[in-house]
Structures are given as structure tokens and as C-alpha cells.
Amino acid sequence: MTKAVKLTDSELDMLTGTFNLGASNAASSLSTMVNQEITLYVPHVNFSSVAELAHELGADNTICSVSKMLGGPFSAQSMVLFTEKNSLEIVRHLLGQDLPDETVEELQQEAFSEIGNIILDACITSFAEVLNTEFEMGFSIFELSNPLDLLNVSENKNYTALFIHIDVTLSSDKITGYMAFLMGPKSLQQLKEALS
């Protein structure tokens, strides 16, 4: 956790519980949509600099992202982040294991955008309910890029990321992904105030 962020253990536990509730709701929606059991679990959340987040994602990885700008009690860029390999694996599971690789790649943007939207909307709704507030959400944007460009690290060097790990289980396969909320110093202070 960066020095600028000072949340108590109970506040971090509350955030973890909140995002687990949202992830559970997203899993239920996805399971219904594709008629197979899907579980989403958030083992923990933490804060990091945007540069640290880029390092965690891996400089050599291509990352698949669905993001939305968030407004309300604080402003943030909300993002669902999976490596390209993991995003294709999820799409393959959801659309059918027998599809050829070319078809999965052609459908990646549309299918992963839908998945990302479901996860973001469910988690943000859960977050809003816990804070007893409302958020305004922008249009979703799909991107496929390296972490440094995707997170715009040079421009966001003073930003903090609320970094959320997500374990996705489909059939017997477990796939790791992430959510992040990128916030400037003012928004970070507003988040701390909203949690108190």
C-alpha cells in the first residue's frame, strides 16, 4: 500500500466484502447467460501506484481491458483487466470449447466487452449500495495493449490504483484477472471520506 493511502484493516475488509458481493452478482448473471456455473471471488484488495500496477500486470504482457469513467462521490477510471491469453480462455469457455481459434479471436472484443460490463456494473452497483450513494458511468471502452500504454503511466504517475484481484472459475479451470479504479489525489481523499 502506498504511504498516501491510510485505510484501516476493517475498511479494507469492507471493500473486499463489497467487491465479493458484486462479483457474486456478476457470476450469477454470467452463469445464467451461458448456462454453466461460473464463480467469481475477490481474495483481497490493495492500493498501489499506477506504475506498480503496470509492473504487477507484466510489462511484456498484452492486456485486454474494458473500462468506464466513473463520477459521483469521487471520480475514477474503472477497469476490468485480464491478460490477452486469459481473456481468450474466458471467451472460449463462454462461447464453446469447440470453436476454432480464429473464431474466438474474432469474437473477443464483443464477448469480452459484455463480460467486462457485467463485472463492472455489478461491482460498482454493490459499491454504491454500501456507500449509500449513486455513481454516473460513462460508455465502456475495449482496449488491447501493454500495461504502460493502457494505464497511461506517464500521465497518471501521481494516481493511485485501488487494485482488486479476481479469481474466475469456469468448469474446472481457474483464471486470474483484475479490476482497478484509477484515482487522482483529490478523488482518493473523497473515497477515504466516503468510507468513514
Determine contact, residues 24/38, Cβ cutoff 8 Å. no
Lookup result for grid cell 470449447: 97
Beta bridge partners of 144: 64
- Which grid cell is 60? 511484456
What whole-number distance in Å separates Cα of residue 91 and Cα of residue 101?
11
What whole-number distance in Å separates Cα of residue 119 and Cα of residue 114?
9
What's the confidence (pLDDT) of residue 100? Answer: 83
Report the candidate in 41, 94, 105, 81 with the shortest Cα–Cα distance to residue 181. 81
**Percentage helix, strand, coil for the chain under 3-state DSSP, each rounded to 5:** 45, 30, 25
CA distances from 90 to 21, 30, 39 (A): 21, 11, 12
What's the confidence (pLDDT) of residue 1? Answer: 42
What whole-number distance in Å separates Cα of residue 135 and Cα of residue 118?
16
Question: What domains appear along the chain, each with residue ranges and CATH number?
Answer: 9-191 (3.40.1550.10)
- Which grid cell is 25? 452478482
What's the confidence (pLDDT) of residue 112? Answer: 93
What's the confidence (pLDDT) of residue 149? Answer: 92
Compute mean pLDDT per 10 residues along the chain, 196 residues long, and list them.
64 90 93 86 92 91 95 92 92 81 88 94 93 91 94 89 92 88 89 81
Report the candidate in 183, 187, 186 with the shortest Cα–Cα distance to residue 50. 183
